[in-house]
Amino acid sequence: MHDAFSVATYNVHGGVDAWGRPVDAVGEVARLEADVILLQENWVTQTGDSVARSLAERVGATVLEVPLAHGRRARPHADAGGDWHRHRAFLDGDHALFVDSELPLRGSLASSDRFADAEPGSWGIAVVSRLPVTSWRILDLGRRQRDRAHRRVLLVQVAAPGGMVEIACVHMSHLIHGSPVQIRSLNRILGGRSATHGTTIIGGDMNCWATPLRLLLPGWQRAASGPTWPAWRPHSQLDHLLVGRRFSVLSGSVIAAKASDHLPVKATLALR
């Protein structure tokens, strides 16, 4: 279809697995071949290198990056196993990404050699667009008490086939740390008419299941459905693309990938 364009969202876990081993996140994202890519857990080194920037250079796109927190990215674990993740990571907090600017680490991990040897940088969201970017702004969602990041929305306007489109890239906190509060704030910021009359797309790791998401963001349509987490045996959809009613969803799906503990979501859309 002449006026069709594609959007994808992917939580890339800083370009490393949970052992700290580098993964080909740039290659995995490039293979999505989307016109606009929304990234979460985009890691930016002190020299400015990042998954988003490397992807933009590869595909000839514009890149916009917003930090949500600062911290350290661990180097490969000496006892790395065959799985993508460490089985004890959910107990000891060592996921290879140590985000500690908003909520300092405590306990043995904070004083460990692994933390001390880790690489400083920032952790955030990004938009990589092959469509022309006409404007962008950052909206504040604040920080919840138990959250390790100060949540923000990267709101980008692009010239899509058929007209101007507004795209909101988000990464909400974990459900128990307050994602419903942040999602309600997002709904207020965007305004109720965005779902029914606007040309807005919301995408990202929402850390929220589809049923509560429909209640928190009434009127929006999901462009794709299917479990996205954990990538090796997905059972929950935490990553979403939501579109206003002025969009026709031509196709939408969860894509198989191995660069993260999440799976990417991609949709092909057209303005009505």
For 154-177, the three-class secondary structure string (H helix, E strand, C coil) is EEEEEEECCEEEEEEEEECCCHHH
Torsion of CA 84, 90, 91, 93, to 10 degrees: 90
CA distance 204 to 271: 21
pLDDT of residue 79: 87
Nearest Cα residue to 87 out of 232, 264, 255, 251? 232
Is residue 199 classed as helix, strand or coil in its secondary structure? Answer: coil
CATH architecture of 5-271: 4-Layer Sandwich (3.60)
Nearest Cα residue to 241 out of 207, 211, 266, 215? 266
Nearest Cα residue to 121 out of 32, 46, 23, 221? 46
pLDDT of residue 1: 57
CA distance 26 to 12: 9
pTM of the predicted structure, to 2 decimals: 0.96
Is residue 58 classed as helix, strand or coil in its secondary structure? Answer: helix
| SS percent in the chain: helix, strand, coil, step 5 | 20, 40, 40
pLDDT of residue 87: 76
pLDDT in tens, the chain (272 residues): 568 999 999 999 999 999 999 999 999 999 999 999 999 999 999 999 999 999 999 999 999 999 999 999 999 998 898 898 877 776 777 889 999 999 999 888 899 999 999 999 999 999 999 999 999 999 999 888 889 999 999 999 999 999 999 999 999 998 777 889 999 999 998 887 788 778 999 999 999 999 999 999 999 999 999 999 999 999 999 999 999 999 999 999 999 999 999 999 999 999 98
pLDDT of residue 85: 82
Q: Which residues contact 76 (CB under 8 A, 6 or more apart)?
A: 19, 20, 21, 22
CA distance 90 to 92: 6
- Do residues 228 and 265 touch, judged by C-beta distance below 8 A? yes
Q: Is 88 exposed, middle or buried (0-12, 13-18, 19+ CB in 10 A)?
A: exposed
CA distance 186 to 181: 9
